[in-house]
Structure 1
Amino acid sequence: MAVPSIRFKDVPKEDRPRERLLKAGPGHLSNQEILAILIGSGTKEESVMSVANRVLMHFEGLKLLRDATIEELVSIKGIGTAKGLLILSAIELGKRMSEYKAEDRYVIRSPDDGADYIMEEMRNLTQEHFVVLFLNTKNQIIHRQTIFIGSLNASIVHPREVYREAVKRSAASIIVAHNHPSGDPTPSQEDIHVTRRLAESGKMIGIDLLDHLIIGDRKFVSLKEKGYV
């Protein structure tokens, strides 16, 4: 007499794949358990774990499953089109993640590099925009954010707002920039005051202000080169 398949409802709740995933994390699940979660349910005759095991046996493990087709999957008892497509989608997502390469990040080596990065975007703006570039330890830009729009004023450009985002992004340093809609990038006393305030605050928390760029029409001024940073 054949031994009846263990019904899924008879498996202790704490030993079921989804519960184990929540409790222990995906790294502690077997291939069979992960596949069972994708399949979702078994048949009247056998549990989802049994179906998952038969899928793995059919493909001799994960290596051949990687190149499975929908026709192969639906030929297995307990795997219909919907479940087959879900498995194929998970396989494809895994392939794409393994092949993913982070795009090359823009590196700031000089004030010209920073100005080139934002010049075309900022030189024709009709209002002043205060922008922060967040850099990693290799001086690569990891994030860009407009902090505010309007005339530069020390009471508005508060270091707290600038460095809060820097801490959130784990930035090693920052470059700030704003445009002069007049096209003339000559720094004002307010520009210099804001720069010094940001530089002092950055030193206190260990995130360097590398430069403050003022963008004009196809020209710029680096306050670092002027000695204000």
Structure 2
Amino acid sequence: MTYSLRIADLPLSERPRERLLDIGAKHLATAELIAILIATGQGKGKLSAVGLGQYLLQELSQYQRDPLDVLRDISPQELMQISGIGPAKATTILAAIELGKRAFQFRPKERATIDSPEAAAAALSHDLMWQHQERFAVVLLDVKNCLVGTQVITIGTATETLAPPVQIFREAIRQGATKLIVAHNHPSGNIEPSSDDIDLTQRLLQAAQFLHLPVLDHLILGNGNHCSLREMTDLWRRFPQGE
């Protein structure tokens, strides 16, 4: 396999580092992000850094899983079996993967203010974001939206979990919370809410009105992303929480 065009031969606007500075890391292809990490390709007349990144992803796809999912668990020895990936490139890639894991697993300190879906997702990322089973959890808040704690309520299978409203509100009351945010993960990574997710949210909002214990949002997390049902639906307009 050859890919002789060097990154240095590309126009500035097409080079991965320059593109990251111009449009941000989230807009780069995975192969471009890998190219920035490994810096060089296989040598003259062979794969460039971008080409090597594409080749690496292609090789990892043979595991019948998403290549990024494979990278989360792969060993340095397995990575170095890919042509062009030596100890320096393998350790750089795996260090970046580990740093990414730690960033997602960071939890806000107790009493931190949870004032956005992003802040709530950060509080739950360790418990929900990368799990292979569906989990249902709550973020417990005080009257000023400060974090009281988080709690996984139930753990289900790879495709479903049960979250009885009684257990959810019992935990909130037990810990003295005055508000809560509920959340669950989709192991598939597809964070679109299902009809069951919508139905459960409606039941929780109705129960919250009766208990005077507002539910501020319902989040779905998966593979580094999240969505807010409060932002996506009109349920909070139909069932106001008296916040």
TM-score norm. by structure 1 comes to 0.51
Q: One-letter code of the match for 2:138?
A: V
Q: Quick check: 1:152–1:191 contact (8 Å CA) kept in 2?
A: no
Please point out which of 187, 193, 203 is paired with 1:197: 203
* Match status 1:186 vs 2:192: yes
Q: Quick check: 1:105–1:142 contact (8 Å CA) kept in 2?
A: yes
- Measure, in 2, the Cα distance between the counterparts of 1:120 and 1:158: 22
Q: Which runs of 5+ in 1 are unaligned?
A: 1-102
Q: 1:157 and 1:122, CA in 2 relative to 1: closer, same or farther beyond 3 A?
A: closer
TM-superposed CA distance for 1:152, in Å, is 4.3
Query: Which residue in the other structure is 1:67 paired with?
Result: none
Give aligned-pair identity as a percent: 37
User: Does the residue aligned with 1:225 lie in a helix, a strand or coil?
Assistant: helix
TM-superposed CA distance for 1:122, in Å, is 2.0
Q: CA RMSD in A?
A: 1.6
TM-score norm. by structure 2 comes to 0.49
TM-superposed CA distance for 1:121, in Å, is 4.0
Query: Which residue in the other structure is 2:214 paired with?
Result: 208
Query: Which residue in the other structure is 1:221 paired with?
Result: 227
Query: Which residue in the other structure is 1:144 paired with?
Result: 150
Q: Quick check: 1:133–1:174 contact (8 Å CA) kept in 2?
A: yes
Q: Which runs of 5+ in 2 are unaligned?
A: 1-108, 237-243
- Measure, in 2, the Cα distance between the counterparts of 1:188 and 1:195: 11
Q: 1:169 and 1:193, CA in 2 relative to 1: closer, same or farther beyond 3 A?
A: same
* Match status 1:105 vs 2:101: no
Query: Which residue in the other structure is 1:100 paired with?
Result: none
Q: How many residues align?
A: 125
Deviations 1:164-220 (A, max 9, x none): 121122211110111000111111000111111111101101000000000011111
Please point out which of 153, 157, 164 is paired with 2:170: 164
Q: Which runs of 4+ in 1 moved over 4 A?
A: none
Q: How does 1:114-153 map to 2 (within 5 A)?
A: 114-150=120-156, 151-152=159-160
Q: Quick check: 2:110–2:148 contact (8 Å CA) kept in 1?
A: no
- Measure, in 2, the Cα distance between the counterparts of 1:195 and 1:118: 18
User: Does the residue aligned with 1:160 lie in a helix, a strand or coil?
Assistant: helix
TM-superposed CA distance for 1:117, in Å, is 1.9
User: Does the residue aligned with 2:231 lie in a helix, a strand or coil?
Assistant: coil
TM-superposed CA distance for 1:157, in Å, is 1.8
